Structure 1
Amino acid sequence: MLTIIKIKQRLIILSLMMIFAQSTLKAQTSQPTWWFGLSGAANFNFYDGTTQRLNNALFVPTAFHKGDGIKPFGSFLMEYRPGPVWGAMLNIGYDGRGGKFDGVIAPCDCPATLETDLSYITIEPNLRLGSATSNFYFFAGPRVAFNLDKNFEYTQEKQPDTDGEFSAIRKTILSGQVGMGYDIPLSPATSASKVVLSPFVSYHPYFGQDSRTIESWSVSTLRTGVALKFGKGKAVPAIVEVPVVDVPLADVTFSVRAPKSVPIERQVSETLPLRNSIFFDESSSEIPNRYVLLSKSQASDFKEVQLENVQTVTMNGRSARQLNVYHNILNITGDRMRSNPGTIISLSGASMKGAQEGKAFAESVKYYLVDRFGIDASRISTEGRIKPLIPSEQPGGKKELTLLREGDRRVDILSGSPELLMEVGGGMMKPVSINAVQVDPMDSHVVFNVGGAKDLLRTWSLDITNNMGNTQHFGPYTRDIVSIPGKDILGNSADGNYKVVMTGVNKKGITTTKESSVYLVRQTETVEKGYRFSILFDFDKSRTIDSYEKFLVDVVSPLITDGSKVIIHGHTDIIGSEDYNATLSESRAAQTQKIIEGALNNAGKKNVTFETIGYGEDLDRSPFENNLPEERFYNRTVIIDIVPVK
């Protein structure tokens, strides 16, 4: 087995060397339209989920979860290539998905193992995307697999070894794959008979690969191997090479949008969403002390309205305000249930250590509400789970699991009572309204737009020079749109004319510059009262904006008057890549604008301007820190500022 693996590794390394070399053969015969051949590969299989009932006769005492293994793959193949770019591929063959689960300890304090020879007959049609100038190609398509073997071997130290067949195995699996390869010609360029050796690699994610109709055994596979292909070409006239002429790179555009005046503070009526979760610390079922826990006498005097005028001045006055409200979630829930005797709630606790600990989390919350606020225990039900109803960690996930699991160790408050869950959408609890002073409001920012920067530039920066010749440097940046607070540019000045020079470096290292100018004046008179709303998203979700449509149409849009300015900015937490999070936040913000614009058009409101930006995980712009799970949950947000016409 080791020798086979080493041979395959050498073939993969050889193919990668050929890819990086980018050596393109100038064939003197046409490439075949049809190819036929064989392929062989190693399937690197990775298991996840829960497997405990092996068949109707064997329910093992300790569940198996993760595992891995290397099994063979072999197929007959056919390719159709009508041109150098698009084509189709078909593989029919044997597909080994077996492996060995990670060992566990049975209740008898003895090791137990589980190994399987799971295999399929597979049919894999793929779309092929190649190139006219390279032998490198990509492919993707579905996989239809028919179960062939489902044997297992279970061992436990203090009982006889058990061989058998899994029950409830799916007879047919419908999944998918994506991969890449490189064609290495083995025949002379002048020969009409073509022979090609193609190292390839493909990835089969866990989607659709639940092996059984019970439990949750899913399989992800990385396949590496080689294919040998044969085809018949035709003689063609010699090709005369034409010198390649470099085409100049497309240029970026540069524009500056500045407020007519720079407000330093604004009175704002802020609607804060209330996340319906209490997050628990590792190895403790006690409610963390960062949550505001009252004595019985304090609870008897507590009213939710007391939180409406709490003032803090950090992170634009927003982060600390909202977290202070959120950390009173138990007291808000107790006050609402006390004021509305007909309401009931369900507490769903989740812990990776087991449903029993999740249940203990939920019971801690229930005890607090019953003991401090005098809520009848019959109005509160509890349950324990391994994962919450909407988990952050998904099957097959490999990255940043510590942060994801911190977010899944929690109690969710569920209720069908409208006094607790208003029609905000997204499963959030009824929000809390706060009258606050907004420091450095979003409409005081100067917006710089470098169109095409993300695609054409490595980085860009700004040099902003005042009338006295003093220059401030900002950057470097990589995204297209950046906003800078007007007060940062003004400093101690009341107003000023500024020259703005944008300097960018493109992908070839060539520098390009663009110039503009801007006039700023500090606003000294009292600014008009504005409105701020927030909507929250679950992990990695952008389409849940649909669940907020009623809230945006019925609550937010009516407050937008003719001539108002609406500033929409999207944010994410720090989980995931920076580029992905930037795109995700832009998608969330853009969908929010689309819904609001539609509501305004239906209402006949005109002259409303939008400023919509996705900041991704930008730490300088994040509403919250990312140290606590609740902070990361609140950073998955779109914030809407409504600035009325002056």
Structure 2
Amino acid sequence: MRTRYAIAALALCACGASSAFAQDADVPTIERMRMGPMVAGTYNMHDGAFNTYDGILECAVFDKANSLQWLAGYLFDIPLSSSVGLSPRLYYWKANGEFVTPNPNQVRVAIDEQTVVPLQTEHRLETSLDYIGLDVLARWSFASPLYLAIGPTVGLATRAAYEQEETIVSPSGITFANGESARKIIAGNFDEQGTLSTRRELRIAATAALGVDIPLSPRVIVSPEVGFAYGFTNVLTSFDWKVNMVRAGVALTYALGDESRDTTIIAAAAPDVQAPTPVLAFDVQGRRADGTTQPYAEIVLVEEVVSDLIPLLPYVFFDAKSSDLAARYRGISSDLVSTFSEEQLTDSTIGVYHDLLNIIGSRLTRYSDATITIQGCREPLDDVGSSDALSSARASTVKEYLTGIWNIAPSRIRVTARVLPEEASNRAIEDGREENRRAEISSNDPRVVAPISRRFTTRSIDPVAVAIMPAIQHGESIASWDLGLVADNATPMYTTRGQGAPNAAMLWNLDRDAVGRAFENRPGGRINASLEAVTTDGQRLGAQRTVPVRRIVSSRRLNGQEVRDSIIERYSLIFFDFDTPRVSDFNTQVIGTIQQRMKTSSSVTVTGLTDRIGDEAHNAELARKRAQSVANAIRSRIVPERMGTVGAGENLIYDNELPEGRMYNRTVIVEIATPSEL
């Protein structure tokens, strides 16, 4: 239909043009060489079968798409005779397309407790294809002023990028994890998608065009034209994907050469030569930590979340016959107590334990009504020749640190002494006797000896810097310039300015924390880069680019395995009764916290461990039973999506040469993996 309308319009133009030629004897002949700009609207027809690829999975398969775009360029008409000539054209063509395809993989979702329906989604792919094209056409004026042009076309793809999203079609009211009915799946350049090896192909096509020449003056001719280009080659080497094009546009040409004129010489003033207008443009590249360069810039921010609940072992261990604090217990000076904070404890579990006395001192300062009891103990087989005075001295050492460093009132600390602890370790072996040489801390306020809650985030970013590469033409008249990068939520990210033309590359070193704050609680977005310049005569110029940002949230399991798009919360339970899987009252608070933090969408792993004391097979079975007991206690309130138990036995995760390491090895670790809500 569009083609018939275009041909009819050309016929009317031809009639008008014939009349114009008949009425104007000064019209330039067709034998003159002509040149001028051209512009056209294009109807792009994408055909083939191709897919996008995120480095791991095939995202979708697309086949057909049509879109309206444009091209602009320059043409030459070179006459070879009165009716035949050459018509080369050089132009820039936007060959974008928008593909839509239904998702063949349907899953079933619950819209309420009793209804499960299929989830229908569709994939939408917006492609950005930019070509520099060259038509070399033979031109035939078969019925002047009508002409026909036909010949080959070659095109160089300067850009082949895409952005893909998935949209829920039905049922209504269902959203993805981002709370919306659409989510972005992937974006980037086709030749940079994952591990797929592909590249842009040189476009080879055949072009035919029908047009009419309409003179506006003896030298200026306007030429409406319609045409069709059929592509023989694919867009990319890895896919059977071609683009054909119907175009309708106009060219404005100027006829060169001499014509009959008055040769009388007339003195004329010298022409006013003006400096060309500057052309402002720039490119964006990524610089990685290893010094390599990305030909494009996509910022990937990886946030690793650590969430632990560490039980506080309220024991201070001593060397044989000694009441001195071991050097491994971390001490501070009294003038630094105001700066101590549990939130700053990012060390290992044993490292946190070695701040035990500072943690107790900080909590006694916070809870002014709390009191503690310190009970000193000794091991008669190791502390040979000692008496209860050694037990008292050990308790007093702990008290003196709290009163002297933390300024805790002595009346709030009660000191007692006994020989062996009430729950003594195995005295027949050296490890057990070492554990009996200790001072035990208890409190009337459970908050004083409550577990340590830690949650912090470490960020990494790639690339580590973004390079702004100016490409300025005729920059001699530029007086000043400004460069600004702003996140899509209006957060300023980077600014710089200068005088004259910005010829040198500008490097923005990325601050991973600043980028993290700008894109917090969302899967990513864009950073808009804007380069503006002012010429010496006050003219303002501008150019813009966008830098995509992708945010990934991850956590690590106990075994070091990285889990993406989920948060791992880790809880440790200690103080199981000797040689029994029963969950002790000491762990009741931790079990309650675990139940409160779980969701039905959570995946839970319960791992039981023991120390090196005893038979290895027996320890493995005991660890399994303890893990199962904890799992049963958790299920009493909420049943997660998936729960597994592991009896790791003597899989030592802490230093068994230390008594506190062995105590912490007698543990059950609960890991809750909950999908993150970006």
TM range (shorter): 0.3 to 0.5
TM-score (norm. length: structure 1): 0.39
Higher CA-based Rg:
2
TM value normalised by structure 2: 0.38
